[in-house]
Structure 1
């Protein structure tokens, strides 16, 4: 009987590991389908990726002299939710490009780490073609979007980088959650923010809730330790929904206005 129990557990363990290995991107990217709702004040725009996809997202131009926020949402959200997460910034004149990913909200393609990076590059190229320079762009990434924003901050020269509820890396957070499985060995997508953040010269703001049970705040603390110039703000009693809290938006707005003031005083 003991052998039977051990054999059953072993078969179940292998089945779970195989399921995770084969369907990992289904679990990592639970893409919302359909085009979603129209958002007043935002134009739906199409922009091409380098690998031949046309993506749809939302755009609101900046006011005179204000930068444009390029917002990369979390894995279970959509570009329309990014509008809600920036609704205290647009009244202040900041533009918002609410980026979307392949496979999300009616967009073609299937999401992956390299695919999301390509989608982010396409968004910045679209803005550049319309006269929005890198120095007038603020990259913002929430949750898995932190991986896209961090990567682009190593390739371009943004005005600033804001990471909300980020992880140090995807294998690290997956390994912490599924400690009983060798997930680090089977994950194809890495999103290694910790390896990149030290290379980023732009001003960095890290926002995290100390009640975040999905991605604990020690991930932001580890990221802050890798770049001495990074500013870390921990919000008491806030969970993984921090991006939609007014307090987080106010902190981001104060950070950007401080950068504006520093530029005016030079």
Structure 2
């Protein structure tokens, strides 16, 4: 009986080990697609929005097309360079401009490599470098003091990076993270050697120490995608006189824009 129990226990342990190896192998090989859940659009796809816009395509040094949409208003107070979250493309994210144009701001919403009509492959360093192309595009048409860099979720990593290389009016971060390793440790604590395992880092904690512009952060305490504590940890790297941090106690990862605190403060956050 004892021998049978030992054999059964051994089989169970073997099954658990095989499942664990299969799970970690899947996460390792698919992590780019997990982090960047892109969707693609045909190049002749026609965007339909209820406000004036221009489709902008920029070409990188390695011949990748970067697609973006530039929404404009008469006599803008400035322009927002918007880096969206990890899922979807401009057919969805272009709608975010409606919220900001009513405050009389132009908006440039961008699609990362592999998203929408943007081409290329997932490459963290190249995707970070791409952010400067969009920033330089705006510098041809706006004063730098009129540029607000805005990042949401995964986009906060790209927004923080480009802000660290330039001097925009403001850097606004919605649901930011310390870095992706910090998130992975909280989500996948059962996986050993995560620091060796994770290929994509987006080290916002490093970028933000080089940001000279005022920084505004919005984070919900009920965020189950990017834990609130990761945003707080990032904020702690900034001098207090450079930072404005808004905590939304009831907000989750997806609904910050629905809360009065966000709507009552966003105009001042965008301004000088």
Calculate the TM-score normalised by the size of structure 1.
Answer: 0.89
Matched, 1:251 2:265: yes
Aligned equivalents of 2:37, 2:123: Cα separation in 1: 12
State the distance in 2 between where 1:160 and 1:189 align. 26
TM superposition outliers: structure 1 runs of 4+ over 6 Å:
none
- 1:236 matches 2:249: yes
Q: Which position in structure 2 is the counterpart of 1:175?
A: 185
Q: Which has the larger radius of gyration?
A: 2
Structure 2 equivalent of residue 29 of structure 1: 36
Match of 1:207 among 200, 213, 218: 218
**In 1, Cα distance between the equivalents of 2:30 and 2:100?**
38
Structure 2, unaligned runs of 5 or more = 1-6
Structure 1 gaps, min length 5: 260-266
How many residues were matched structurally?
A: 257
Compute the displacement of 1:244 (Å): 4.1
Residues 78 and 100, structure 1, Cα contact 8 Å, conserved in 2: yes
User: Following the alignment from structure 2 to structure 1, what is the Cα–Cα distance between the partners of residues 13 and 145?
Assistant: 60
Residue 176 of structure 2: aligned partner: 166
Say whether 1:46 aligns with 2:60.
no
- Kindly provide the CA deviation profile for residues 79-129 of structure 1, in whole angstroms up to 9, marking residues without a partner as x: 344443343321222110011111111321123322321331221122223
Q: CA RMSD in A?
A: 2.0
Q: What is the CA–CA distance in structure 2 between the aligned matches of 1:74 and 1:225, rounded to whole Å? A: 23
| Partner of residue 98 from structure 1, selected from 109, 125, 145 | 109
Relative to structure 2, which stretch is displaced further, 187-196 or 241-250?
241-250
Output the CA distance in 2 between the equivalents of 1:39 and 1:243. 23
